[in-house]
Amino acid sequence: NFRLIDENTKLYGITGYPLAITDSPKIHNKGYRDHGMNAAYIPFRAKKIEEAFEFADEMGISGFSVTIPHKEAILPDLQQVSAIVGEIGACNTAVKQKDAWIGFNTDAGGLQRAICDFLNVKNLARKKVAIIGSRNLPITHQQIIEILSYALVIQGNTVITSGGSSGTNAAAIRGAMKANPDKLRVILPQTIGQQPSDVQDQLIGVPNIIEHPDRSMMTLADASRICNREITLAVYTISF
C-alpha cells in the first residue's frame, strides 16, 4: 500500500514499544486493498505515548491501534473515551474526530467472538463461565483476561473463579467486579481465613464467596485440585 499513497490516502497505524513483531499492518493493508480503499496502515514505534500523538498529528493519521506498553498510559492524552475504556481503564484504539482524540477498546468484542467461534456457539449470554489458571502470568495477559471477564459479565454471564492475589484468577476478579459484582462467584479451596492476606484483601467487597471449611485440614495443593474440579463442572471453562 505504501507505493500507492497520495494526497487523498487515509493514514492509520499502530504504536507501541518496542513493537518488534506485529501482523497488524499486513492484515489491515490487505483489507484495504480487498475493499478498494485508498488507505494505508503503518507501524510507528514510540517509547512514550506523547511521541505517538506528535507523530500522528504531524502525519495526519486518522486513527491508530495501541499496544503494549501504552494501553493505560494513553488515557490522560485522550479527550474522550468509550464506556468500556472508562470502566476497565485500558484503550487499544485511538480515533481522531475533528480536533479530539477519542479512545475505544475493541479487545472485549474480539475476544468474545473468538471464544464463540472456538466453542461453536452463537453467543455466551446468560451462561456460567469458569476462568482459572496460573498465578505466573505476564501483565499483558492479565490485562486481556481482565477485559475478557468484564466483557463476559456485561453480556449477562456469570464468571466463576477462585482466589488469587495475582495472575489469572485475580484478573478475572478485577474484570467482573468492574462490570457487575453480583455476576462474580469466587470458590475458595478452603476458608477465607486460610488465604494469604493479599488474597483476603482482594476479596473485600466480593458478594458471592463460597468457602470450604470441610477442607481446612487438607494441604492447599490437595484442596485446590478439588476446588478446580468443582469450578469446571457444568460450565464453559476458559483456562490460562
What is the C-alpha separation between 161 and 7, in angstroms, rounded? 53
Q: Which three cell numbers stand for residue 70?
A: 501504552
Contact 97, 127 (CB under 8 A): no
For CA atoms 110, 115, 121, 127, give the dihedral sign: negative
Residues present in the chain in total: 240
- 153 CB contacts (<8 Å, ≥6 apart)? 159, 175, 176, 179, 180, 183, 184
- 239 CB contacts (<8 Å, ≥6 apart)? 131, 132, 133
Active-site position among 26, 71, 96, 178:
71
Contact 142, 174 (CB under 8 A): no
For CA atoms 46, 49, 55, 56, give the dihedral sign: positive
Catalytic annotation present for 71: yes
* Residues classed as catalytic: 71
